[in-house]
Amino acid sequence: MTDKLDIIWKESTDSTNEDVKRHIHDIDNLSVLAAEIQNAGRGQRGNVWFSGEGANLTFSIFLKPELKAAKQFRISQITALSIVKFLEKHDIKASVKWPNDIYVQNRKICGILIENTLRGDSIIHSIIGIGLNVNQESFPQEIPNPTSMLMETGKTFDLKMLLEDYIRSFRQMITERLSEDTKDTDLEYQEYLWRKDEEYSYRDMRTGNIFIGRITGISETGCLSVQKKEGEPEEFAFKEISYIL
Ligand code: BTN
């Protein structure tokens, strides 16, 4: 790994994930594309990602991971951990709302959209899109429960320096941890898991039923393990469970 950081800054684009997709044949592993403005920022589940112009970090990292498709949750785990640890460095205590939203108590500070391209049973490349709320102080009302680094610390940040610093730590973490076979990443991810070991209400999206349960951890395949207050332990895949805030 070289020390040189390939970060391309654009004044505006539709979505940094889409922009990276258009360049996958001419960009190197671990290149980063950041935009001051996204005109069509994308969130999970087809949602729009809103970010005030020039206020926050919106960027995508291009990764050629050499990883089996069955292990793709690893990329989510490492990315989420890299963000919580980075926020910790800035005195913000954040958690991972499974699978990869980053929360400060009940407020979302960062969203992650990972798009993997598979060939056979391998991942050939991965686009990791990150929207980190940094200097924004107020958000439109329709955004449910946002926060930002400024709102949490009272400080404003230089976006370019902040991104460089983050990318350095991300590169180190992904390089060290993607190939590892130890349980450290799983354990650490679970340590930062939002709402772990406490009772809350959830909706089972397969049946529509609301139930009370306790998150107990993450399964080997990246499903959320929940002990229902009344009933058996269950595992939920992405989109099969929704948190009631
Ligand atoms: C979510 O929480 O719904 C995921 C949000 C991901 C937003 C980032 S911003 C940079 C990258 N480009 C996009 O269009 N989306 C991701």
- Mean pLDDT across the stretch 14-43? 96
Instruction: Report the atom number in ligand 1 closest to the C-alpha of 16.
Output: 12
Q: How many other β-carbons are positioned within 10 Å of the β-carbon of residue 170?
A: 24
Using CA atoms, how far apart are residues 237 and 219, in angstroms rounded to an integer?
A: 10
Evaluated on CA atoms 65, 98, 225, 176, the torsion sign reads positive
Statement: residue 141 has pLDDT above 90? yes
Q: How far is the CA of 96 from the centre of ligand 1 (A)?
A: 16
Closest-CA residue, ligand 1 atom 9, reads 131
Statement: residue 1 has pLDDT above 60? no
Using CA atoms, how far apart are residues 192 and 103, in angstroms rounded to an integer?
A: 10
* 101 close to ligand 1 (CB < 6 Angstrom): yes
**Model confidence, pTM:** 0.95
* 13 close to ligand 1 (CB < 6 Angstrom): no
Which tens digits make up the pLDDT trace of 160-205? 999 999 999 999 999 999 977 667 899 999 999 999 999 999 999 9
Using CA atoms, how far apart are residues 72 and 227, in angstroms rounded to an integer?
A: 25
Which tens digits make up the pLDDT trace of 118-140? 999 999 999 999 999 999 999 99
Using CA atoms, how far apart are residues 112 and 58, in angstroms rounded to an integer?
A: 10
Q: How far is the CA of 95 from the centre of ligand 1 (A)?
A: 18
Half-sphere exposure of 9 (CA within 13 A, CB side): 11
Q: How far is the CA of 233 from the centre of ligand 1 (A)?
A: 32
Average pLDDT, the chain: 94
Q: How far is the CA of 129 from the centre of ligand 1 (A)?
A: 5
**Cβ atoms of 216 and 236 closer than 8 Å:** no
* 41 close to ligand 1 (CB < 6 Angstrom): yes
**Could you give the angle at the alpha carbon of 97 between the alpha carbons of 31 and 183, nearest 5°?**
70
* 47 close to ligand 1 (CB < 6 Angstrom): yes
* 44 close to ligand 1 (CB < 6 Angstrom): yes
Residue 80's pLDDT band (cuts 50, 70, 90): very high
Instruction: Report the atom number in ligand 1 closest to the C-alpha of 42.
Output: 14
Q: Which long-range contacts (CB under 8 A, 24 or more apart) does 83-92 make?
A: 83/110, 83/112, 83/130, 83/132, 83/166, 84/192, 85/169, 85/173, 86/165, 86/166, 86/169, 86/170, 87/149, 90/149, 90/153, 90/157, 91/153, 92/149, 92/152, 92/153
* 97 close to ligand 1 (CB < 6 Angstrom): no
**Cβ atoms of 242 and 227 closer than 8 Å:** no
Instruction: Report the atom number in ligand 1 closest to the C-alpha of 17.
Output: 12
Say if residue 99 is preceded by a cis peptide, omega within 30 of 0: yes
Higher pLDDT residue, 4 or 91? 91
Higher pLDDT residue, 89 or 178? 89
* 194 close to ligand 1 (CB < 6 Angstrom): no
Which tens digits make up the pLDDT trace of 49-75? 999 999 999 999 999 998 999 999 999
Using CA atoms, how far apart are residues 150 and 242, in angstroms rounded to an integer?
A: 28
pLDDT at 180: 73
Higher pLDDT residue, 2 or 243? 243
- Mean pLDDT across the stretch 142-162? 97
pLDDT at 221: 84
From the list 189, 59, 102, 92, the residue with the least C-alpha distance to 51 is: 59
Closest-CA residue, ligand 1 atom 7, reads 131
pLDDT at 79: 98
Q: How far is the CA of 132 from the centre of ligand 1 (A)?
A: 9
Statement: residue 2 has pLDDT above 90? no
* Collapsed DSSP state (helix, strand, coil) of residue 96: strand
